[in-house]
Copies of this chain bind each other. A is one copy, B any other.
């Protein structure tokens, strides 16, 4: 049994990602209100791991989570990519015409824009969480209200799906990172072969400084799967780069790091792990 801290409650997408990575029967969920709480919780509990959303194909990177990870002493244990399917759910026995209000998170409402535009009689109410609104509707037996939830959350809360797959863009994937300390990494992912790494480093704002790093990585047959620059605010001429790399040969990968370290500043390995599966 692994204690897994998630942002949100049982039935949330973080819960589903945890089940996909560890297997449903192997986890004990520890719900946290915010990502900040989650990192604080993991820092205090050495035998716990956590799951955090890090990027979404529609909304982009969750930069605040990158920051929390960089500032923590935690490492990435693994990853999972989950297809996000939204459903309109409500108390059983109702039709869409009975629904007066949909309560959900800002981002979920935005991702279901087209469906909601086609049902203008439903008022949008922004809420702090997607699954929590499903739970509330179930507990209050609130008729005339709908939430936007996963199929799993609908089952969990005894709600009926009035419309399924209502997300506008079907290429809606969220990538989740499994994080924890190094002891938990070795315990939980020690036997998975590491073929991916997430790195962060800064570079001076000079012509070609990034191209040198990437050229060296390519000489070592390291494949770049993500790159994102961020200005270091307060240091006008410095940039922070988050990169994900894939490799077949771990030794070669570590040699490539030795080769780029003298050209970078403050390089940190956020994690070395096995590339995650994608749940469609």
Contacts and interface: CB of A to CB of B under 8 A. Distances in A.
Interface string A50-62: 0000000111111
Contacts of A107: 106
Contact of A215 (B215, B221, B226, B241): B215
Nearest to A223: B207
B210 A227 contact: yes
Interface residues of A, number: 46
Interface of A: 34, 36, 57-64, 105-107, 110, 113, 124, 126-128, 171, 173, 205-208, 210-211, 214-215, 217-219, 221-231, 233-234, 241
B59 A64 contact: yes
Contacts of A222: 207
Contact of A224 (B110, B210, B219): B210
Copies in the assembly, this chain: 2
A228 B231 contact: no
Closest 5 CB pairs of A and B: A208-B218, A211-B214, A171-B233, A126-B126, A60-B63
A112 B233 CA distance: 18
Nearest to A64: B58
Given A205-B223, A211-B217, A214-B208, A231 B57 contact: yes
